[in-house]
Amino acid sequence: MPESEFEIRYLPLFEHDLAEAALYISEVLMNETAANKLIDDTEAAILKRAKSPASFKPYRSAKKREHEYYRINVGNFSVFYVIVGNVMEVRRFIYSKRDIDSLLR
């Protein structure tokens, strides 16, 4: 399969979400190994998806959006991204048990 020409752009909100989740797992749950694995697994899933980000079904949302959201499941978390031209813009990292639609405003 040929390499994609999609650039990956991480929004600060995504970086904050991921850092908060990793910090919670590492410091509150006292499992630094799991926190590091979550970060590694998230990066691997995003890089894999970047090869063909539009070939997956868009996330169904009640809100009409200029750019459709797509979802990547990573353990108990979801990575949300949009495609803008040749850019895969990674926007959110959300615990899957939360009210996702309210967080994707």
pLDDT at 63 over 50: yes
With b for 16 or more beta-carbon neighbours within 10 A and e for fewer, the 28-64 pattern comes to eeeeeeebeebbeebeebbeebbeebeeeeebeeeee
pLDDT averaged over every residue in the chain: 92
Q: What is the DSSP letter of 75?
A: T
Give me the residue spans of the domains in the chain: 7-97
pLDDT at 93 over 90: yes
pTM summary value: 0.90
pLDDT tens, residue by residue, 10-35: 999 999 999 999 999 999 999 999 99
pLDDT at 2 over 50: no
Report the C-alpha gap between 44 and 28 in whole angstroms: 25
CATH number of 7-97: 3.30.2310.20
